[in-house]
Amino acid sequence: MRLVVNPNQGTPGLVVLPASGFRRAKAAIMAWPGYAPTPLADLPDIALEAGVAAVRYKDESGRFGLGSFKALGGGYAVERLVAAACGALPVFTTATDGNHGRAVAWGARRFGARCVVFVHDGVSQGRVDAIAAYGAEIRREGETYDDSVRACTETAAREGWQVVSDTSWPGYTAVPIDVMQGYRLMADEAADAWEGAPPTHVFIQAGVGGVAAAVSVQMRARFTPHPALVVVEPERAACLLESCLAGRKVGVGGGLQTVMAGLACGEPSLLAWQELERAASAFMAIPDAVVAPAMRRLAGLGIVAGESGVAGLAALLLAAGDAVALRALGLEAESRVLLFGTEGATDAAVYAGMVG
């Protein structure tokens, strides 16, 4: 593993996600049919193993039947765009590692809109089929998530389609802000369900960093003192950790191969970086080898967690076995840790192959 403590934590900066936008997102999503908060599980055995006082796990596997928290973001952003549309609905399009595409396809189907989803070569057939099941047209372009983002934006510009991206870049921020405001509801529910003294640490996995930034903002809004935020990435796609080291937003190249399919992103989201560069306590990059054991550990407790969903737990267990990491993160016997299980078995065949 690699661990970088953020030297800029606590530096004042931009308000990336205004409170009013979250209030609007929360009211809208809570009015959707089938809305219910996802459970927050207490994991005392894992707390014992990690040598901390409490570990709680927010289990997103049941979110709107989509298997991940992503419905909160993509689904909400589509709803906002539909409300703003004059006349005919636009064609919605996005690039995805799997879960965001499913959320946008689901959101578009709610309104009977056409949806085109770009996937790269590494997206499993099971995940592609799940997106197509919501009526979206699939286009396979490029070798990585970042390639498919480019293919999506170029095609959208040519065809006049509406991009619903979970990542942001200069000049494209309004839609990803809505996506991230939707994600905040997951963290808000966790804060509602949290009992006793507030969490001291939050481990949250990152691809482009959108959900980590949303969790960061909401944890600050709900808990004082603010919990330490540990951002976890796959070691071959650690663009936020590298950005922290570089002191500015940088991308990482290569094939980004990792079993943590939802986290295989080489370019941080601009908005996410603006939040995390000053709010994250530390960035961790973890190897693939720790993922299947973490999935099996949760399966043994009756929790179904996918490859990307367990990254935070895997990072906690790695840190717990390393005296330097424990010290650097300030993890001790009194610590209370909040984990976000961001997905369930979003590809049943991959899950069965890893868990048995």
The binding site for ligand PLP (CB under 6 A) comprises: 68, 70, 97, 99-100, 166, 205-212, 262-263, 265, 308-309, 342-343
70 is catalytic: yes
Closest CA to 149 of 163, 137, 162, 161: 163
CB of 130 to ligand PLP, least distance (A): 12
249 is catalytic: no
Nearer to ligand PLP, 199 or 344 (CB): 344
**Whether 278 contacts 10, CB under 8 Å:** yes
Whole-angstrom distance, CA of residue 41 vs CA of residue 226 = 21
Closest CA to 93 of 61, 141, 129: 141
Closest CA to 107 of 37, 167, 28: 28
CB of 141 to ligand PLP, least distance (A): 17
The CA-CA-CA angle for residues 146, 157, 250, to 5°, reads 30
CB of 324 to ligand PLP, least distance (A): 26
Nearer to ligand PLP, 14 or 197 (CB): 14
CB of 356 to ligand PLP, least distance (A): 21
Q: Which of 58, 70, 166, 347 is catalytic?
A: 70
Nearer to ligand PLP, 200 or 216 (CB): 216
Closest CA to 80 of 181, 159, 6: 181
Nearer to ligand PLP, 53 or 106 (CB): 106
Q: Concatenate the DSSP letters of all residues of 246-303 into one string.
A: HTS-----S----S-GGG--SS--HHHHHHHHHH-SEEEEE-GGGHHHHHHHHHHTT-
β-pair type (282-286, 2-5): antiparallel
Nearer to ligand PLP, 90 or 262 (CB): 262
Nearer to ligand PLP, 28 or 130 (CB): 130
Q: Which of 97, 146, 188, 347 is catalytic?
A: 97
**Whether 76 contacts 181, CB under 8 Å:** yes
**Residue ranges in 31-144 assigned as alpha helix (H):** 44-50, 76-84, 99-110, 125-132
Burial of 150 (C-beta count, 10 Å sphere; 0-12/13-18/19+): middle
Residue nearest to ligand PLP (CB): 262
Locate 208 and state its tokens.
Answer: 């482009």
Active site residues: 70, 97
